[in-house]
Chains A and B, each alone.
Chain A
Amino acid sequence: KAGVTQTPRYLIKTRGQQVTLSCSPISGHRSVSWYQQTPGQGLQFLFEYFSETQRNKGNFPGRFSGRQFSNSRSEMNVSTLELGDSALYLCASAGGTGGYYEQYFGPGTRLTVT
């Protein structure tokens, strides 16, 4: 079974631009979560989508948004990029035989904002 895939793997953007990241979950998983990982703040939860609806949300500004499609693929968007948005963005899916408590992570998208 294919794992969680994320595209692109690396991105370089300029302050003020916007960016869209994509995540394809494991087949059959309906829950997709997004995390931001930085050396200073560690792993921080952004939001979770289930059946195309945002089910949980972390404490991030409205510049961070996401959506989920009917095939469970998910995208997250960051508008008006700031230098502090440079991070590894991880996507995780859940809902297989391990239930929704076990998350399966993709390799991440490394975003650099200059």
Chain B
Amino acid sequence: GNSVTQMEGPVTLSEEAFLTINCTYTATGYPSLFWYVQYPGEGLQLLLKATKADDKGSNKGFEATYRKETTSFHLEKGSVQVSDSAVYFCALTLSGGSYIPTFGRGTSLIVHP
């Protein structure tokens, strides 16, 4: 079946530090990959996406590259801010499938001033 594995959190960083949150996946077929973010007290928001191998999704300073050879979609940001503190979810959907995303467990990010 399909699955998404994310690194355990919380990830605790100081402001302006470099962020990496690892995400690997298992999928039957050709998935599209997503990162969603959930700020405290809110629902999930789509942060970025990539629909085919070697695509790079980017938004708000965050980037992730679809690596088919390593089945990974790691999230990176060069300089985090306190306002980036949130829970980040990696997800996949399959082309021609049910459209329902398979989500990872989420990784909590805490950024200190």
Contact = CB atoms under 8 A, between A and B. Distances in A.
Contacts of A55: 98
Interface stretch (A12-20, A62-70, A74-82, A105-113): A105-113
B73 interface: no
A42 B106 contact: yes
A89 B104 CA distance: 17
Interface string A15-43: 00000000000000001010000000011
Interface of B: 32, 34, 36, 41-46, 49, 89, 93, 98-101, 103-106
A104 B46 contact: yes
A84 to B, nearest CB: 18
Contacts of A42: 103-106
Contacts of A98: 46
Interface of A: 4, 31, 33, 42-43, 45, 48, 55-56, 90, 92, 94, 98, 100-108
B105 A94 contact: no
Contacts of A94: 99
B41 A103 contact: no
Contacts of A106: 43
A55 B42 CA distance: 26
A4 B106 contact: no
Contact of B106 (A43, A92, A102, A105): A43
Contact of A101 (B36, B93, B105): B93
Contact of A43 (B34, B49, B89, B93): B89
A103 B101 contact: yes
B100 A56 contact: yes
A90 B99 contact: no
B113 to A, nearest CB: 26
14 contacts: A4-B43, A31-B99, A42-B103, A45-B100, A48-B100, A55-B98, A56-B99, A92-B43, A101-B93, A102-B34, A105-B43, A105-B44, A106-B43, A108-B42
